[in-house]
Amino acid sequence: MSEFTNKKEKRVEAFADFTERLIRGEKGRKLMEEYAILFDTLVPADIITAVDLLFRKEIPLEKLKTGLNKMLNLFQLRIKAYPALDPPAGSFADLLRRNNAELKKKLAVLRTKNTEINRDPSRQEEMIPELLEGFRDVERFVTVYEIKENILFPVLEREWDDWRCVQVMWSYHDDIRRELKGVIAELEHKPFDLKAFNKWIGDLYFNMHTIIFRDDHILIPVMLERLPGEVLEAMNEEARAMTFPYVQPRSRKSARSGAGSGGEHPPVDLGTGRLSPERIALLFNHLPVDITYVDENDEVRFFSTPKKRIFPRSISIIGRKVQNCHPPDSVHIVERIVEAFRKGEKDEATFWIPHRGEFLLIRYFAVRDTDGTYRGVLEVTQEISKLRELKGEKRLLDWEEKKS
């Protein structure tokens, strides 16, 4: 027994086996008796490693998520009792936890309102605007998921061998994004369908609370235990340049380069002109598009930082595999596009989507050198709502300077 409790590998294997048997449909109560020792020995880091092991077994993602939900429900008291470290005030981990706490408060208020509208459906006209306002406020929390995906996940991929839990978390993030859209769409739809609304918010409440629990009691404690101090500090600096939904960093530093200030480096010969690196950065950052470049080894090498970036990026993604920059539900499409570019079968892939009240054009271009050798992929994203409205013509001579 002591050998079991002292050896992480044996605990993880037992814990993964426990979860896999739940996935196969075995009863939790029976398994709890068989694996009783886990309820006294398990630590959050074991869960991270076990999820990595289960993910690498290629269990279908939805089945894996269902099994993990059941497992965490059984082990939640053990997990909550773990003596976790407290994150330093104002740190990246602290900002995650404090924004989670604010979200829980907002969800509690909305749950009360939802109970009221179910108790007295005649109040729908009065309460739907309140619910709509509340869920639009909750929708702002999606920025936390984007911050995790762009700052935290690349760090975990680089620093941990057992990093694949991020793929599962990302899938939950996507579920929540979809559920929020469904909730808001139901509140905006006339006539209001209370039954459909209840289905959406039931799933939304469950998944949001699931992620809060995993952040606060598993992810953040293991981050603080396992990530080196300099890595944690680097994330703190990046967090100061990001916009959180409810609780903001104490101070902010621009994530943009200091291009054009403090002198310039020697110019680079571009074939059609010579520009300093600072001026090249200025040109990229003044284009009305988001640009990301992935090299021939599928690693992110560059992204632009225009005034308004459509999709957030952080310096942590430099060197990250492009396959890890996309949620597991869509990564297979990305792999097919990249492979078609690599083989020379395609040179471009174009998509367009509505996004938070805007309309985005997303284009991927194969990058090839003068010999036709594949050198990577250029992603260009542009907000084109105003472009879609253009009609007729406006010539250069039609331009007039606005009068003050």
Locate the domains of the chain by residue range. Answer: 2-80, 92-239, 268-388
C-beta separation of 172 from 207 below 8 A: yes
**396 class by beta-carbon count within 10 Å (0-12 exposed, 13-18 middle, 19+ buried):** exposed
C-beta separation of 212 from 246 below 8 A: no
- Residue-level pLDDT at 206: 97
Q: What is the CATH number of domain 92-239?
A: 1.20.120.520
* Residue 70 structure tokens: 């059941």
C-beta separation of 190 from 179 below 8 A: no
Q: What is the rounded distance in angstroms from the CA atom of residue 148 to the CA atom of residue 328? A: 15
* 10-residue averages of pLDDT along the chain (404 residues): 64 95 94 92 95 96 95 94 94 96 98 95 94 96 95 95 96 96 95 95 97 97 96 89 89 46 78 92 93 96 90 87 89 94 96 91 96 96 94 86 53
Q: What is the CATH number of domain 268-388?
A: 3.30.450.20
| % of the chain surpassing 70 pLDDT | 94
